[in-house]
């Protein structure tokens, strides 16, 4: 992006008696709105780190399963519960595939294999499974949040813009929905429908949109009364044009912030549902189902549950920090001191 | 105030009836009937159905269902323990869940207030940064991560506390589950208290009080904390909800014989009757908590009832 320098026009230069070069102010050079946001975003160390973490995890989720020599679903009954073994680090005496002083890879007859995160109780490579699981968790979360945005923004716009009786009824619907714990709604839905990626997304979205619609409605109510909307209305713009051209762009910041906080929430609920036995069906794996599987032998083979739990935790933490950073950048008034 | 409370009460009852209606419809939709025995003649089946009221019209059965649920007659379990009345299944488990939940809320709110106050009064110092880091971890990390870490390190490796619930030591073995559940309320209360204190300290009336020579202790207690604490109740409400949800995870993780663990078992064993009953109980608890908090908050802060009620 070009830095535009604040320069005097020839007329102003003549009036002030300064040459144009002398009056060039590069400290307060004009930035576009986006540029401004990006600068604030990256000057925050926590945000920059969390963005990097998300990038690494997403890249791993995309490429690690492709590059891995093992499949996430292939069962190897001879190489079960192998400990972690990482080339390079094994020379330092850590992650060298031994447990209680015995080389487990030797013992199970696979001395040449390297399972970075070990294998599970069916001999499946955990490294591949963790990244495949991350892929599915991210996919579910993004799809669910996309649905949230679609439903929530439409609902909030209609309720906020048209107001009156429609708004009254729509708010009562939301009140009843928020009167029931999210978890119960999701659980019942997944009991009636078979758990799979689409149904889990639907279950997450059916409760998730409420928050989005509330925020959008509040924004619309605020913007609706402003002069430029009144001006546009006076000039005869139809409702649709006002919504799409005047109101939507001005609520975008809040929508993006809410989106960022919804993603970790969706990731969490997906894992939560998996933990209570309503996760994606086997042999598919998500971070939640991996944690659920690993939990059974957590005391014997802690790495089987700690690794997916760590990826999940870093992912959720990063998205939350990124959300905080974005909120500070987009809406400085809401900055949390 | 009366009007506000009445309105909230009405809304709560409506929500509860709606939940019951959904659950009832799901029960109707679920495949299978308890009387599928092929040896039954049509007459016998009709007489059994008459006995259990299954021949009644939809709305009559719905009203009966509501009456039964509210009376605490939830029917019998199908798979977990055949023909065991669900109320008996619950009788022992419910107190365990409530106990752990209450311990968690008490612990979380106390710790959260402490952390928040320390951080708020030491804004931009080390104590503040540490508390903020703890708070953001507590808000962002999933409950099973804490359950896992506590169970593995405190319980298994260092053997400080039992990591499996046992009825012989109900207090000691409920500590780790309570601690896990307390993290979420602690973090949100700490966050809220901190930012409120920083906000209040910048207000003009604090400067005025200082100028008038109000002592440090009196200033803290009478002017700052009094204004901060009324708001804390708003963050306690969502935390209690988190504790309710979290009880599922924690009871599974620490093998606690409570209703959360029972719900998971019921889901996995396809015991619809138990699942729906527990769904109802969770909803009822949730509605009760929300109602209490809203009414309490309306009592404390008159601005709320003006905004929400009238």
**What ipTM was reported for this prediction?**
0.81
Cβ contact (<8 Å) for B267 and A191? yes
For residue A138, tell me if it sits in a domain: yes
* Lowest-confidence region among A18-27, A147-156, B41-50: A18-27
Chain A / chain B CB contacts < 8 angstroms: 111
Element (H, E) at A26: strand A25-30
A263 at the B interface (CB within 8 A)?
Answer: no
Is the domain of A114 the same as that of A134? Answer: no
Residue A103 binned pLDDT confidence (cut-offs 50, 70, 90): confident
> What is the predicted pLDDT for the residue at B103?
92
> What is the predicted pLDDT for the residue at A3?
45
Cβ contact (<8 Å) for B12 and A179? yes
A252 at the B interface (CB within 8 A)?
Answer: no
- Nearest Cα to Cα of residue A306 among A147, A7, A83, A136: A83
Q: Which residues of B touch A181 (CB under 8 A)?
A: 241, 244-245, 282-283, 286
Q: State which residues form the domain around A301.
A: 38-71+124-336
Residue A333 pLDDT more than 80? Answer: no
* Lowest-confidence region among A19-28, A134-143, A195-204: A19-28
For residue A23, tell me if it sits in a domain: no
Is the domain of A134 the same as that of A110? Answer: no
- pLDDT, one tens digit per residue, over A232-260 is 889 988 888 888 888 888 888 889 989 98
A186 at the B interface (CB within 8 A)?
Answer: no
Pair of tokens at residue B241: 């909800």
Is the domain of A101 the same as that of A132? Answer: no
How close B119 gets to chain A, by Cα (Å)? 12
Cβ contact (<8 Å) for A176 and B264? no
Residue A2 pLDDT more than 50? Answer: no
Is the domain of A139 the same as that of A214? Answer: yes
Cβ contact (<8 Å) for A183 and B156? no
Average pLDDT over residues A95-101: 72
**What is the distance between the alpha carbons of residues B122 and B116, in angstroms, rounded to a whole number?**
10
In the DSSP assignment, the letter for residue B173 is: G
For residue A24, tell me if it sits in a domain: no
Residue A140 pLDDT more than 80? Answer: yes
For residue A320, tell me if it sits in a domain: yes
**What is the distance between the alpha carbons of residues A277 and A288, in angstroms, rounded to a whole number?**
9
For residue A13, tell me if it sits in a domain: no
Q: What is the CATH number of the domain that holds A257?
A: 1.10.3720.10
From chain A residues 142-181, the ones with a CB under 8 A of any chain B CB are 175-176, 179-181
Residue A141 binned pLDDT confidence (cut-offs 50, 70, 90): very high
How close A193 gets to chain B, by Cα (Å)? 11
**What is the distance between the alpha carbons of residues A170 and A154, in angstroms, rounded to a whole number?**
12
> What is the predicted pLDDT for the residue at B309?
45
Q: For residue A119, list its beta bridge partners.
A: A125
> What is the predicted pLDDT for the residue at B77?
77
For residue A31, tell me if it sits in a domain: no
Closest Cβ opposite residue B140 in set A264, A275, A295 = A264
Query: Taking each helix axis from N to C terminus, what angle separates A197-224 and A182-192, rounded to the nearest 10 degrees?
Result: 140
Pair of tokens at residue A300: 């014997």
Closest Cβ opposite residue A272 in set B139, B241, B249 = B249
Query: For residue B20, what is the nearest residue in chain A, using CA coordinates?
Result: A180
> What is the predicted pLDDT for the residue at B92?
85
Q: Which residues make Cβ contacts (< 8 Å) with residue B296, sequence separation at least 6?
A: B233
- Burial-class residue A91 by CB neighbours within 10 Å (0-12, 13-18, 19+): exposed
How close B236 gets to chain A, by Cα (Å)? 16
Closest Cβ opposite residue B144 in set A179, A180, A275 = A275
Residue A24 binned pLDDT confidence (cut-offs 50, 70, 90): low
Is the domain of A105 the same as that of A193? Answer: no
Report helix, strand and coil shares of chain B as percent, to nearest 5. 75, 0, 20
Pair A13, A19: CB distance under 8 Å: yes
For residue A231, tell me if it sits in a domain: yes
Cβ contact (<8 Å) for B148 and A179? no
> What is the predicted pLDDT for the residue at A187?
86
Residue A221 pLDDT more than 50? Answer: yes
- Give the three-class secondary structure for A99: strand
For residue A242, tell me if it sits in a domain: yes
Closest Cβ opposite residue A298 in set B12, B148, B286 = B148
Q: How far apart are the first and last CA of chain A?
A: 30
Residue A22 binned pLDDT confidence (cut-offs 50, 70, 90): low
If one compares A141 and B1, the residue with the highest pLDDT of the two is A141
What residue ranges in A72-212 does DSSP mark as E strands?
98-99, 102-103
Query: For residue A182, what is the nearest residue in chain B, using CA coordinates?
Result: B245
Element (H, E) at B66: helix B58-71
A281 at the B interface (CB within 8 A)?
Answer: no
Cβ contact (<8 Å) for B140 and A275? no
| Total number of domains in chain A | 2
Is the domain of A112 the same as that of A64? Answer: no
How close B43 gets to chain A, by Cα (Å)? 32
Cβ contact (<8 Å) for A176 and B29? no
How close B44 gets to chain A, by Cα (Å)? 30
Is the domain of A273 the same as that of A306? Answer: yes
Closest Cβ opposite residue B156 in set A264, A272, A299 = A299
Is the domain of A162 the same as that of A248? Answer: yes
B195 at the A interface (CB within 8 A)?
Answer: yes
Is the domain of A54 the same as that of A99? Answer: no
**What is the distance between the alpha carbons of residues B50 and B69, in angstroms, rounded to a whole number?**
20
Report helix, strand and coil shares of chain A as percent, to nearest 5. 65, 5, 30
If one compares A17 and B93, the residue with the highest pLDDT of the two is B93
> What is the predicted pLDDT for the residue at A315?
92
> What is the predicted pLDDT for the residue at A318?
92
A334 at the B interface (CB within 8 A)?
Answer: no
Q: How far is CA B2 from the centre of its chain?
A: 27
Is the domain of A219 the same as that of A249? Answer: yes
Cβ contact (<8 Å) for B144 and A306? no
Is the domain of A205 the same as that of A220? Answer: yes
Instruction: Divide the 310 residues of chain B into consecutive groups of 10 and give the mean pLDDT of each group.
Output: 84 88 81 62 74 73 83 77 80 88 92 90 85 85 84 80 77 86 91 89 87 85 82 81 85 87 85 86 88 81 57
Buried b (16+ CB within 10 A) or exposed e, A261-288: bbbbbbbbbbbbbbbbbbbbeeeebbbb
Is the domain of A129 the same as that of A199? Answer: yes
Q: Which residues make Cβ contacts (< 8 Å) with residue B214, sequence separation at least 6?
A: B222, B223
């Amino acid at each position: 992006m070009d830095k535009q320098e604040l320069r005097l026009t020839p007329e102003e230069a003549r009036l002030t008696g300064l040459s144009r070069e002398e009056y060039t102010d590069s400290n307060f050079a004009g930035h576009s709105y986006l540029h401004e946001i990006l600068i604030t975003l990256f000057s925050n160390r926590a945000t920059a780190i969390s963005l990097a973490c998300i990038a690494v995890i997403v890249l791993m989720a995309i490429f690690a399963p492709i590059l891995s020599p093992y499949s996430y679903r292939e069962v190897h009954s001879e190489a079960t519960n192998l400990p972690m073994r990482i080339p390079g680090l094994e020379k330092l005496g850590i992650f060298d595939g031994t447990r209680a002083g015995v080389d487990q890879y030797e013992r199970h007859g696979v001395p040449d294999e390297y399972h970075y995160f070990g294998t599970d109780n069916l001999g499946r490579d955990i490294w591949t499974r963790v990244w495949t699981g991350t892929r599915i968790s991210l996919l579910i979360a993004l799809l669910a949040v996309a649905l949230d945005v679609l439903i929530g923004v439409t609902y909030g716009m209609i309720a906020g813009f048209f107001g009156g009786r429609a708004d009254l009824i729509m708010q009562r619907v939301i009140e009843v929905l928020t009167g029931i714990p999210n978890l119960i709604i999701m659980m019942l839905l997944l009991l009636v429908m078979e758990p799979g990626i689409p149904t889990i997304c639907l279950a997450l979205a059916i409760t998730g949109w409420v928050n989005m619609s509330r925020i959008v409605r509040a924004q619309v109510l605020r913007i609706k009364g402003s002069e430029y909307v009144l001006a546009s209305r006076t000039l005869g713009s139809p409702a649709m044009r006002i919504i799409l051209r005047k109101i939507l762009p001005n609520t975008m910041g809040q929508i993006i912030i809410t989106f960022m906080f919804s993603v970790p929430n969706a990731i969490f609920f997906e894992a939560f549902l998996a933990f209570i036995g309503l996760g994606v069906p086997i042999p598919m794996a998500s971070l939640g189902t991996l944690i659920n599987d690993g939990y059974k032998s957590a005391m014997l083979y802690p790495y089987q549950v700690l690794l997916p739990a760590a990826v999940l935790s870093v992912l959720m933490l990063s998205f939350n920090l990124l959300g905080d950073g974005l909120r500070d950048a987009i809406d400085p008034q809401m900055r949390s001191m | 105030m009366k009007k506000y409370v009445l309105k909230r009460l009405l809304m709560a009852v409506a929500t509860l009836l709606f939940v019951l209606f959904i659950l009832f419809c799901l029960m109707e939709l679920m495949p299978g009937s308890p009387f599928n025995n092929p040896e039954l003649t049509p007459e016998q089946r009709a007489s059994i159905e008459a006995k259990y009221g299954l021949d009644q019209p939809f709305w009559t059965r719905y009203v009966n269902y509501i009456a039964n649920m509210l009376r605490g007659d939830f029917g019998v379990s199908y798979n977990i323990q055949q023909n065991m009345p669900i109320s008996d299944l619950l009788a022992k488990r419910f107190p365990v869940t409530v106990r752990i939940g209450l311990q968690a809320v008490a612990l979380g709110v106390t710790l959260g207030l402490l952390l928040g106050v320390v951080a708020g009064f030491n804004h931009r110092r080390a104590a503040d940064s540490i508390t903020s880091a703890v708070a953001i971890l507590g808000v962002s990390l999933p409950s099973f991560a804490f359950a896992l870490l506590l169970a593995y390190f405190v319980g298994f490796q260092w053997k400080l506390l039992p990591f499996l619930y046992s009825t012989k030591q109900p207090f000691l073995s409920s500590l780790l589950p309570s601690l896990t559940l307390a993290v979420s309320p602690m973090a949100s209360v700490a966050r809220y208290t901190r930012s409120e204190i920083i906000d209040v300290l910048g207000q003009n009336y604090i400067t005025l009080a200082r100028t008038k020579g109000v002592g440090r202790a009196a200033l803290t207690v009478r002017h700052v904390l009094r204004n901060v604490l009324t708001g804390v109740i708003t963050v306690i409400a969502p935390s209690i909800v988190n504790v309710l949800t979290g009880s599922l995870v924690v009871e599974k993780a620490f093998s606690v014989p409570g209703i959360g663990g029972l719900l998971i078992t019921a889901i996995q064993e396809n015991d619809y009757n138990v699942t729906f009953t527990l769904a109802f109980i969770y909803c009822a608890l949730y509605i009760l908590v929300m109602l209490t908090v809203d009414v309490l908050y309306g009592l404390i802060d008159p601005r709320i009832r003006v905004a929400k009620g009238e």
